[in-house]
Amino acid sequence: MKRWHYLENGITLELDTPSCIGCGACIDVCPHGVFNIVDRKAVITDRAACMECGACALNCPAHALAVTPGVGCVAAIITGKLRGTAPDCSCGEGSSCC
């Protein structure tokens, strides 16, 4: 499966590793596999795949994640317009971003 990269370096995604409790909620809700658990803590494994939807931060019970929602979806729309292709943020049909 080709992984879409939205914003190089995931501009607004932040992880406070000491606050992470390793529950895996971020992995469960992330549509693009941005996270993994290593040594019982979340780690960002593919920052550029983050579309900055905010699902991880909204579902983190430890409040160890922060992100400004919508930035990556907007990047997908702009990239689609520039390339002359349909916007594709891969977050599902009927989503609020596209």
CATH number at residue 64: 3.30.70.20
Residue-number span of the structural domain to which 49 is assigned: 14-83
pLDDT at residue 95 tops 50 = no
Residue 57 is assigned to a structural domain of this protein: yes
Give the model's pLDDT for residue 71: 63
Closest CA to 73 of 12, 29, 16: 12
Give the model's pLDDT for residue 51: 81
Beta-strand ranges (E) seen in the chain are 14-15, 35-38, 41-44, 65-66
Residue 8 is assigned to a structural domain of this protein: no
Most confident of 1-15, 36-50, 62-76: 36-50
Residue 58 is assigned to a structural domain of this protein: yes
Mean pLDDT of 37-60: 91
Residue 4 is assigned to a structural domain of this protein: no
Give the model's pLDDT for residue 7: 56
Residue 36 is assigned to a structural domain of this protein: yes
User: Per the structure block, which two tokens stand in for 29?
Assistant: 């809700």
pLDDT at residue 80 tops 50 = yes
3-state secondary structure of 91: coil
CA distances from 61 to 26, 28, 30, 36 (A): 10, 13, 15, 16
Which of the two residues, 18 and 46, has the higher pLDDT score? 18
Please write the tens of the pLDDT for every residue from 6-30. Answer: 555 557 899 999 999 999 999 999 9
Amino acid at 96: S
List beta partners, residue 35: 44
Residue 33 is assigned to a structural domain of this protein: yes
The answer to whether 51 and 35 have CB atoms below 8 angstroms apart is no
Residue 7 is assigned to a structural domain of this protein: no
Residue 93 is assigned to a structural domain of this protein: no
Confidence of residue 38 (pLDDT cuts 50, 70, 90): very high
User: Per the structure block, which two tokens stand in for 58?
Assistant: 């909204």
Number of domains making up the chain: 1
pTM of the model: 0.68
